[in-house]
Homo-oligomer: A and B are copies of this chain.
Amino acid sequence: MDERLDAIFSALSDPTRRAILARLANGKATVAELADPFELSQPAISKHLKVLEQAGLIRSGREANSRPRILEPAALKTIADWVADYRRFWDESFDRLDDYLSKVQGYEK
């Protein structure tokens, strides 16, 4: 599962790709539609889409002439699950937080 996390986090580290995901949250979109907001060449967008697809964050369809993309929620859930393991560190409702904060003194911001 480690390699899967590598690919997902790496895919998400690019703002263009996160913007593409945000767009796909509104429903499926063609490559041309996804490329529209950016000042990037079409191949650059195709590359980003390939990265997202290989990370499992999106899927490709086929519709007449175009190959629309849709969001693949499972990969995002993988990230949510990973980060949830650290939730106790910022969620005040956990008793351990105070302990933790007390240890934190003397660490430069």
Name the B residues within 8 Å of A100 (CB-CB): 71, 73
The proximity string for A residues 39-70 relative to B, scoring 1 for CB distances below 8 Å and 0 otherwise, is 00000000000000000000111100000001
**Complex-state Cα separation, A89 to B24, whole angstroms:** 11
A88 to chain B, nearest CB (A): 9
**Contacts A9-B9, A28-B103, A79-B79 given: A73-B89 contact, CB under 8 Å?**
yes
Q: Is the interface on chain A under 10, 10 to 19, 20 to 34, or 35 or more residues?
A: 35 or more
Q: Tell whether A32 is near chain B: CB-to-CB under 8 Å.
A: no
**Contacts A5-B15, A15-B5, A59-B108 given: A76-B86 contact, CB under 8 Å?**
yes
In contact, B18 and A13 (Cβ under 8 angstroms):
no
Chain A residues proximal to chain B, CB less than 8 Å: 2, 5-6, 9-10, 12-15, 18, 21, 25, 27-28, 59-62, 70-71, 73-74, 76-77, 79-80, 83-87, 89-90, 100, 103-104, 106-109
